[in-house]
Amino acid sequence: MTSNPSKNTFQHSLSKVALSVAALGFSLTVHAEEAPVPDYSLAYHVGVISDYRVRGIAQTSGDPAVQGGIDLTTKSGLYLGTAASNVKWVKAFNGATKGSYELDLYGGYRAQITDTNFSYDVGVITYQYPGNNSGVGGRLPAGTFGNASTVEVYGDLIYKIYTLKYNRSVGNFLGNLNSSGSQYFDLSAAVDLTHGFTLTPHIGHQFIPNQTFPNPSGNSGDYTDLSLTLAKDFGNGLVGTVAATTTNAKRIFYKDTDSKYLGNDAFVVGLSYGF
């Protein structure tokens, strides 16, 4: 599943420019007029990534992905968006015979709490895998999984460079049976290194209830992931990223139908263009 909308921090900024001119004993101050905030804005992005990871778990079995999306943001703070990517895990992990791409649809509301340093973001996102037949049959017996498409509600608190995020599934999570109410906690920081560089450390923890194989206690799907991402803004909408990611996901649970471990350490590079 693609990255969700909390990565686009909502901020309003007001600026006032004053110019003082002294000549022939006179002092003149000029105040620039503020540009009006548009009622809405549209943003587009396309990109490629060497290894599509979500919460540290491989979505394309370590292969590259092509991605793109559109975001609509209103002056009031309401927003809608969509993003798409190719994936392999629906077939490789859930054993389906159909389901080769992901389509995310999301919407929510962003606003300031006290000032420009403290804001929040709440919304709902659905990860759709059109045509997927996860759980119907294929490389695994029918009934092993459910339909892969998933709905989550989320909430973010953003303070300066720090973001704390919470996601909770409505219904089963990514086809895992009896997994309604799965939760993900995410803490990250965006450290400005100047010259267009941003360093983002991240820690997250995934809870998936009632996953009893092979652990009878039901926590086989729970794990923590860590990542460190360096981004470079080249200007004109072009951004490059390099990231290192690791997890302690249980190998016996997070392996595909060819016994490939999907939570392995990875070094990921990406390039995106926004306009």
* DSSP strand pairing (223-235 vs 197-207): antiparallel
The Cβ of residue 2 has, within 10 Å, a number of other Cβ atoms equal to 23
Instruction: Tell which residue, 101, 117, 98, 121, has the closest CA to residue 109.
Output: 121
CA distance 184 to 51: 21
What burial class does residue 139 get, using C-beta atoms within 10 Å of its C-beta: 0-12 exposed, 13-18 middle, 19+ buried? Answer: middle
Residue 115: the pLDDT is: 79
Across-strand partners of 230? 199, 242
Is it true that the peptide bond before 214 is cis, omega within 30 degrees of 0?
yes
**Does residue 91 sit in helix, strand or coil?**
helix
CA distance 166 to 121: 10
The Cβ of residue 44 has, within 10 Å, a number of other Cβ atoms equal to 12
Q: What is the pLDDT along the chain (275 residues), one digit of tens a residue?
A: 554 444 443 333 333 333 332 332 333 334 456 678 889 999 999 999 999 999 999 999 999 999 999 999 999 999 999 999 999 999 999 999 999 999 999 999 999 998 789 999 999 999 999 999 999 999 999 999 999 999 999 999 999 999 999 999 999 999 999 999 999 999 999 999 999 999 999 999 999 999 988 888 889 999 999 999 999 999 999 999 999 999 999 999 999 999 999 999 999 999 999 99
Residue 122 vs residues 2, 77, 150: alpha-carbon distances, Å: 17, 11, 17
What are the residues whose beta carbons fall under 8 Å from the beta carbon of 222, sequence distance 6 or more?
205, 206, 207, 208, 211
Residue 33: the pLDDT is: 61
Instruction: Tell which residue, 190, 155, 192, has the closest CA to residue 5.
Output: 155
Sign of CA dihedral 217, 220, 221, 224: positive
